């Protein structure tokens, strides 16, 4: 009996060490692992199309071709919009040098009138440099374009997975007798991932359109770019809203002044509160099955491992990890409750 705590501690330490080794190993091959995971998520997202075609007796080649073409068209559209918008942003940023200098002068005059020292103001403005924030967004878009520029690899992976999808579905069905827990866990992972992607995409598009309309009415430059950024940031848990808000707010400050910036912030907050806080939970509910703490930890871990793509795919990657390590083990009920933040018996 005395050896049991020691044995449990040893198992935990070995498990943590193995997880660290695996994560650092994935990080070393992030340029390959990222596209593979993205291709898998995209195939899962369009799998209902294949199922619908299969249910109507469509030939296998059509079951493969239609989902594949949907994914390719989406990827090409995203690459085109991001590339054009990032190029426009790069050419636009240098034109705001004068506005930024004028903003500094006005801020220093206001601070002097309020009795604040110039040194204190200079330090604050250095920490709150709109140019740095916009440059950070440009870097983020550049990394996303870098991932999507590996389009050939992603397309080949998607095609291979689409070709294997009918066979894989049959293999999983026949494997229910031998490993029912694993098969059920993988099916649950696919269902939760698909529901999360569909709902997040629909509400992301709604947010993007509303944001674009608000930015257009306020004459903020590049509303299409900020709409696409809002759609992409919608997949990033916890901090996605802030990432989508800061760049257009800073650009509004440089282009139209403080009043325009405040209007942009107010518009984004109203749109986000209505869609994300009141409407989205009614459709998504607890389908993800991850607590707030685990979601935030997932964001940190997968961003560290895969970069910007890891932040976007944090939820699907965490659901896959949960399916393989937790949901497939019938003795891990308490762990399921821990990561989902729900009492045992109501985890799923």
Contact 43, 71 (CB under 8 A): yes
Which one has a higher pLDDT value, 151 or 218?
218
Contact 181, 328 (CB under 8 A): yes
**Residue 195 vs residues 86, 274, 301: alpha-carbon distances, Å:** 30, 20, 23
pLDDT greater than 60 at residue 128: no
| Lookup result for tokens 């990222």 | 34
The three-state DSSP-derived secondary structure of 106-149 is HHHHHHHHCCCCHHHHHHHHHHCCHHHHHHHHHHHHHHHHHHHH
Taking the model in full, what pTM does it have? 0.75
Residue pLDDT, tens place only, 335-348: 777 777 665 555 44
Contact 198, 45 (CB under 8 A): yes
Question: Which residues, 6+ apart, have CB-to-CB distance to 10 below 8 Å?
Answer: none
- Please compute the mean of the pLDDT values over residues 30-58 and round it to a whole number: 85
Average pLDDT, the chain: 77
Residue pLDDT, tens place only, 48-74: 888 888 888 888 888 888 888 998 888
pLDDT band at 6 (very low <50, low <70, confident <90, very high): low
Query: Where are the domains positioned within the chain?
Result: 29-340
> Distance between CA atoms of 106 and 155, rounded to whole angstroms?
51
Residue pLDDT, tens place only, 134-187: 555 555 555 555 555 677 778 888 888 888 877 777 766 665 556 667 778 888
**Residue closest to 102 by CA, chosen among 253, 314, 218:** 253
Q: Of 158-172, 247-261, 284-298, where does the model show the most confidence?
A: 247-261
| Lookup result for tokens 């029912």 | 180
pLDDT greater than 70 at residue 282: no
Sign of CA dihedral 343, 294, 310, 275: positive
- Residue 184 CB coordination number (10 Å): 17
| Lookup result for tokens 């866990």 | 185
Burial class (CB in 10 A: 0-12, 13-18, 19+), 35: buried
* pLDDT score recorded for residue 12: 74
* pLDDT score recorded for residue 1: 46
Contact 249, 283 (CB under 8 A): no
Contact 62, 52 (CB under 8 A): no
pLDDT band at 264 (very low <50, low <70, confident <90, very high): very high
- Residue 301 CB coordination number (10 Å): 17
* pLDDT score recorded for residue 213: 93
pLDDT greater than 80 at residue 313: yes
Residue % of the chain over a pLDDT of 70: 69
- Please compute the mean of the pLDDT values over residues 110-117 and round it to a whole number: 62
> Distance between CA atoms of 22 and 14, rounded to whole angstroms?
12
Question: Which residues, 6+ apart, have CB-to-CB distance to 100 below 8 Å?
Answer: 130, 131, 254
- Please compute the mean of the pLDDT values over residues 304-312 and round it to a whole number: 85
Q: Of 5-19, 207-221, 285-299, 306-320, where does the model show the most confidence?
A: 207-221
* pLDDT score recorded for residue 120: 61
């Amino acid at each position: 009996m005395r050896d049991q705590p020691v044995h449990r501690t040893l198992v935990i330490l070995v498990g943590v060490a193995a997880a660290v080794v695996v994560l650092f190993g994935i990080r070393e091959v992030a340029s390959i692992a990222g596209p593979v995971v993205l291709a898998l998520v995209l195939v899962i997202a369009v799998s209902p199309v294949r199922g619908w075609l299969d249910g109507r007796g469509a030939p296998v080649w059509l079951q493969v071709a239609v989902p594949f073409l949907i994914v390719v068209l989406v990827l090409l559209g995203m690459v085109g919009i991001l590339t054009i918008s990032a190029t426009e942003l790069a050419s636009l940023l240098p034109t705001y040098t004068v506005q930024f200098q004028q903003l500094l002068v006005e801020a220093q005059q206001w601070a002097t009138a309020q009795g604040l020292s110039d040194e204190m103001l200079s330090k604050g403005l250095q920490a709150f440099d709109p140019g740095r924030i916009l440059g950070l967004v440009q870097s983020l878009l550049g990394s996303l374009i870098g991932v999507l520029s590996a389009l050939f690899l992603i397309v080949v992976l998607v095609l291979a997975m689409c070709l294997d999808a009918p066979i894989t579905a049959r293999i999983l069905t026949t494997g229910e007798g031998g490993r029912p827990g694993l098969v059920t866990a993988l099916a649950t992972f696919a269902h939760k991932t698909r529901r999360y992607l569909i709902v997040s995409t629909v509400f992301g598009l709604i947010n993007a359109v509303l944001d674009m309309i608000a930015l257009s009415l306020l004459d903020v430059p590049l509303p299409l770019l900020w709409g696409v950024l809002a759609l992409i940031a919608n997949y990033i848990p916890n901090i996605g809203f802030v990432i989508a808000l800061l760049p257009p707010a800073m650009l509004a400050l440089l282009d139209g002044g403080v009043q325009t910036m405040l209007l942009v912030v107010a518009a984004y907050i109203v749109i986000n509160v209505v869609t994300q806080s009141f409407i989205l939970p009614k459709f998504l509910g607890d389908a993800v099955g991850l607590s707030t703490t685990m979601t935030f930890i997932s964001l940190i871990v997968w961003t560290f491992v895969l970069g910007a793509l890891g932040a976007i795919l944090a939820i699907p990657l965490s659901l896959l990890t949960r399916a393989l390590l937790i949901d497939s083990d019938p003795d891990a009920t308490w762990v399921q409750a821990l990561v989902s933040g729900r009492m045992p018996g109501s985890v799923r």
